Amino acid sequence: MDQLLQKVQQGGVVGAGGAGFPTYVKLDCQVEYVMANGAECEPLLYKDQVLMQRESKEFFGGMLLAMQQVGAKRGIIGIKKKNKISIDILRETLPDSIELLLMEDVYPAGDEVELIYEAIGKRVPSGGLPKDIGVMVNNIESFINIYKVAHGHAVTETMITVHGEVKNPFTTWVPIGMSYEEVIALAGGITCDDFVVIEGGPMMGSVTTDLTQPVTKISSGLLVIKRDSRVARAKLKSEDDVRRIGKAACDQCNLCTSMCPRALLGYPIQPHLAMRALQVSGVNNLTYALAAQACSGCNLCTMWACPEGLDPSRICVTTKRELKSNNLWQTPAELQLKTIDVHPLRSYRGVPTKQLVRRLELVDYISVIAEYVDFNELLATNKQNIERVVIPLSQHIGKSADAVVSVGDVVKKGQIIGQAVDDALSVSIHSSINGKVIAVDTAIEIEIEII
């Protein structure tokens, strides 16, 4: 394996803030363009802006390394026009081979398929990958991590925004393995009694009440919201309820499909047909069910388009899952898909973030930006210490790393505690603190120890 790819795999770089796809695999191609996705279209999250403003040297360094690796002559950074501070800072030292793509403040500008189309006017083939049209896309944190591992520093922290019903929203680097509870406590306390936490952004993030979970490499945000808020209510509905209510109440008005960003780009996705499948024979009705295959899960149909308050997005997600588990999934070739033209009204149907925030009932929070605060300052202000971390051996798509430490071992920050599995999609996992291993299972538990 190439030297940089090895460092990226052993250093544990994955798609930060996404599904955790191992970055060394993404870098193993030859393409024309390398794109950085700095559109940050999930309301309330601010980590990409912090990273671009504070670590532009490492960010550009990572992009240039990636461009060299994949043979790309051009780098493009997608960033919204509204982020003037970040744009000005980037422009000060922007390398000649990298340009800025200034984007409108609409959702979902940060979908990589949208970003690529806006940047070069090409569409990723349905069921295909960006590299099929000569593009590699990564998020800002992943490029920074590429730079860091190339300079000997493994991935041990994640940049995260904490916002919502907390006293002092912030964005900072936190050690991987801290619990949600400890990280949220750094915001000075929760300001309501009955709350849930969104992992990620309010549109695509999932809801949890288990605050013992550890932050991982793919954690991007922890949003504390009231349990009876619109976003929480939508995400807390059980799958059975979503199906039962959808089956009874969908009037096939078609608005979900009219507003679907992927449909507007000409992809074969029609969420109203996935809803219609509920009313007939479900996933077995392939005429309708296959219309869910190209869904990106952006959630716009559910949180913005549907006038009945239904959840076509979740229906598309569950339909896709069932197509796969029933061996009914079809490849683009089997589907004989034809790319249709981009919808002539696409540019008028982008959803402005400001209006989306109003619809999501997040207006009370949006006026406060979760600015960067140094992690040690947060610990001191809140009289907190890190006592232990729980670091999962799988924080990525593919095979879990193999534990290479035992109970009682003393480890240092940055030391490999889980080794990437040979000849498999896998990355290594590292200790995020100096300490002693106290448990080894699917996660490694480490207690702080000054060594």
Closest distance of CB 259 from ligand SF4, Å = 7
Q: Is 301 in the site for ligand SF4 (CB under 6 A)?
A: yes
**Residue 254 Cα to chain centre, angstroms:** 28
* Torsions phi, psi for 190 (to 5 deg): -90, 140
Shortest distance, position 307 Cβ to ligand SF4, whole Å:
6
* Interface map 197-236 toward ligand SF4 (x if CB under 6 A): ----------------------------------------
Least distance from ligand SF4 to the Cβ atom of residue 214, Å = 28
| Per-residue binding letters, 232-271, with ligand SF4 (x by CB under 6 A) | ------------------xxxxxxx---xxx------x-x
The closest alpha carbon to 128, from 138, 110, 141, 116, belongs to 116
Say if CB 420 and CB 10 are below 8 A apart: yes
The residue (of 144 and 337) whose beta carbon lies closer to ligand SF4 is 337
Q: Cβ(404)–Cβ(417) under 8 Å?
A: yes
Counting residues that bind ligand SF4 (by CB under 6 A) gives 28
User: Minimum distance between the CB of residue 107 and ligand SF4, rounded to whole angstroms?
Assistant: 10
- The nearest distance, CB 213 to ligand SF4, in angstroms, is 25
Beta bridge pairs of residue 208? 197
CB of 276 to ligand SF4, least distance (A): 8
164-193 b/e (C-beta count within 10 Å ≥ 16 → b): bbbebbbbbbbbbbbbbebbbbbbbebeee
Choosing from 272, 320, 388, 430, the residue that interacts with ligand SF4 (CB under 6 A) is 272
> What is the smallest separation between the CB atom of 320 and ligand SF4, expressed in angstroms?
10
| 170-175 and 157-164 beta bridge pairing | antiparallel
Of 51-59, 152-160, 290-298, 374-382: span binding ligand SF4 (CB under 6 A): 290-298
Residue 195 contacts residue 226 (beta carbons within 8 Å): yes
Burial class (CB in 10 A: 0-12, 13-18, 19+), 3: exposed
The Cα 125–Cα 263 span in angstroms is: 13
Give the residues across from 103 on adjacent strands.
80
Which single residue is written with the structure tokens 């770089």? 13
Which 8-state DSSP code applies to residue 427? Answer: -
Minimum distance, C-beta of residue 204 to ligand SF4, in the bound complex (Å) = 9
Q: State how far the alpha carbon of 169 is from the alpha carbons of 84, 96, 165, 202, 298, in Å.
A: 21, 36, 9, 15, 25
**List of residues 6+ apart from 435 with CB closer than 8 A:** 388, 389, 410, 411, 446, 447, 448, 449, 451
In the complex with ligand SF4, which residue's Cβ is closer, 154 or 250? 250
For the window 306-335, what string marks contact with ligand SF4 as x by the rule CB under 6 A? x-x-x-xx--x-------------------
**Which range of residues in 92-100, 297-305, 353-361, 378-386 is near ligand SF4 by CB under 6 A?**
297-305
Query: Would you say 62 or 130 has its CB closer to ligand SF4?
Result: 130
CB of 23 or CB of 302, closer to ligand SF4: 302
Six-digit token string for 324: 């796969």
User: Could you count the other beta carbons within 10 Å of the beta carbon of residue 138?
Assistant: 26
* Cβ distance to ligand SF4 smaller for residue 53 or 318: 318
Select from 138-146, 211-219, 231-239, 305-313 the region that touches ligand SF4 (CB under 6 A).
Answer: 305-313
User: 21 near 439, Cβ under 8 Å?
Assistant: no
Residue type, 311: D
Shortest CA distance to 261 belongs to which of 312, 208, 298, 211?
298
Residue 3: CB minimum distance to ligand SF4, A: 39
301 vs 411, beta carbon nearer ligand SF4: 301
CB 142 within 8 A of CB 346: no
Nearest CB to ligand SF4, comparing residues 40 and 58: 40
Binding-site member from 27, 186, 231, 298 for ligand SF4 (CB under 6 A)? 298
Alpha-carbon distance of 60 to 66, in angstroms, equals: 10
Q: Which stretch binds ligand SF4 (CB under 6 A): 134-142, 294-302, 332-340, 383-391?
A: 294-302
Cα separation, 310 vs 24, whole angstroms: 39
Smallest gap from Cβ 41 to ligand SF4, in A, equals 12
User: Roughly how many angstroms between the first and final C-alpha of the chain, as a whole number?
Assistant: 34
Query: Which of 305, 373, 393, 416 contacts ligand SF4 by CB under 6 A?
Result: 305
63 or 115: CB nearest ligand SF4: 115
Binding residues for ligand SF4, rule: CB under 6 A, are 250-256, 260-262, 269, 271-272, 275, 295-301, 305-306, 308, 310, 312-313, 316
